[in-house]
Structure 1
Amino acid sequence: MTTDIYRRVEADPAYQQLTQRRGRFALTLSFITLLSYYAFMALVAFAPQSLHATIFEGGTLTIGVPMGVTLILGSWLLTGWYVRKANTEFDQLTQSLVERHQ
């Protein structure tokens, strides 16, 4: 009996739309995160002198530190965006699918 329910849900266009939207959104956020990290690593590897500049005259804090912090915080924000969207929009679509196939 349970395989019959799985087949019906998988055949439902709303389920296919949900998985497609969720997958596309996760892939987009993953691409943004990976691109940011790899761009930063490429900058460190191929142009390290660009990160040596200090923020303030006579200071010791270089431009690379806030860039790294921004990268990490940006990843956290993207994760928060995914969690928020998953807990609102995607969960509502999932709940409507569950109610329709009970």
Structure 2
Amino acid sequence: MPVEETPAGRTEPGLAAAIAADPAFRVLAQRRARLGLSVVIPTMVIYFGYLAVLVSAPELLRMRLGQATTLGLPLGFGVMVATFLLVLFYVRRAGSDLDRLTQTIIARHAR
């Protein structure tokens, strides 16, 4: 649902300025930034932690867990699962809280 667009598809400058000045928009921007950091920081810690172990203690990842599996395989799989869960958390949170607030702002400024 577009918000007051010109033929070129750009929002009107007055409308964009009004939305940017809206306190609810500032709250939205802060929540979005906080949510992004709550996903990016753990993801970076997980990835760089895995790389740090890989570089500093590769023998740990070569440790056998059975006949054909080393510790590196489940840890690598864990990195992927953790990333998936963090993305799922972001999508659900953004789809509920942030989208609801966005729709409120759009409705407030729609003409």
Correspondent of 2:47 among 37, 42, 65: 37
1:27 has 2:27 as partner: no
> CA offsets, 1:30-86, max 9 Å, x none?
111111101101100011111121113xx1201110000010011011111111111
Gaps of 5+ in 2: 1-10
Letter in 1 for 2:108: R
Task: Report percent identity of matched pairs.
Answer: 32
Aligned to 1:48: 58
Aligned to 1:97: 105
Query: Separation in 2 of the partners of 1:24 and 1:70?
Result: 25
Correspondent of 2:94 among 81, 86, 91: 86
Letter in 2 for 1:80: L
1:60 has 2:47 as partner: no
1:3 has 2:13 as partner: yes
Flag as ranges the 4+ runs of structure 1 deviating above 4 A: none
Q: What value does the CA root-mean-square deviation take over the aligned residues?
A: 1.2
TM-score by length of 1: 0.92
Q: Secondary structure at the match of 1:54?
A: coil
Query: Separation in 2 of the partners of 1:62 and 1:97?
Result: 52
1:28 Cα deviation after fit: 2.2
Query: Separation in 2 of the partners of 1:52 and 1:98?
Result: 54
TM-score by length of 2: 0.85
Gaps of 5+ in 1: none
